[in-house]
Amino acid sequence: MSIRHVSDADNEGWLLVKFSGSNAPDALPQNLRVEYIKTEGGRDYFKVIEGVHAGREGSVKQKEGGGSYLIEGDPKQPTAQVHFVIPSKKLWYQNNGEWVGPIDTMTDPNNMVPVGVHDIEIPDAPHKGGESYEDRSRFASTWFRIGHSGDRYLHTGSVSAGCVTMTDIPKWTDLYNYLIKRRKDDKSVGEIHVFATEAERP
């Protein structure tokens, strides 16, 4: 089995592909791991092995002049660790053994993200809610779902409807680059620990 990963083809973290049996394009996130099958007729064929599309087969047109958008090698790094303290509206993430932060972040006070430890999923699809922030972070439309059901996400922006929303928008690019290569398993990049008080955070 030849493992490859998705390149950042659109410069915003996504690659448009066509899945077998579908005429409409779908977007795969940067660094998603796939099994390379073959190259034929100017297209690379693959099978997705992680994320929401795991198990689906598809193809992507090669670059003009040749070359693949599916990069050889496996870039995955250890599980992401993110901390968020609700009342102080601050977020940290652990990189190379050190905590980066605090970063201004919020959740809806009337629909707060639950306290506890939750998985952070591999991105599912571009989110239109992030488009208006792409002038400050080109990856603003990439959101990471919190848990494996529902509609709470870790994302950047200025409005929260129960998500964990990083309001310091320019810093989203750094967090995105940290998260997108991380893996806990074939569904998640890592974990977010949500604390009710600052004193609870180790």
DSSP state of 23: -
Chain centre to alpha carbon of residue 190 = 10
At 1 the pLDDT is 66
pTM of the model as a whole: 0.94
Element (H, E) at 173: helix 172-179
Helix, coil or strand: residue 179: helix
Domains of the chain listed by start with CATH number = 2-72 (2.30.30), 80-200 (2.40.440.10)
174 φ, ψ (degrees, to nearest 5) = -65, -45
Select from 158, 105, 151, 160 the least CA-distant residue to 124.
151
Q: How far apart are CA 16 and CA 146, in angstroms?
A: 24
Question: What CA–CA distance (Å, rounded) separates 111 from 162?
Answer: 5
User: How far is it, in rounded angstroms, from Cα 140 to Cα 142?
Assistant: 5
User: Could you report the average pLDDT of every consecutive run of 10 residues in the chain (202 residues)?
Assistant: 84 92 91 95 96 96 90 88 97 96 96 97 96 96 96 95 96 97 96 94 86
For residue 74, the model assigns a pLDDT of: 81
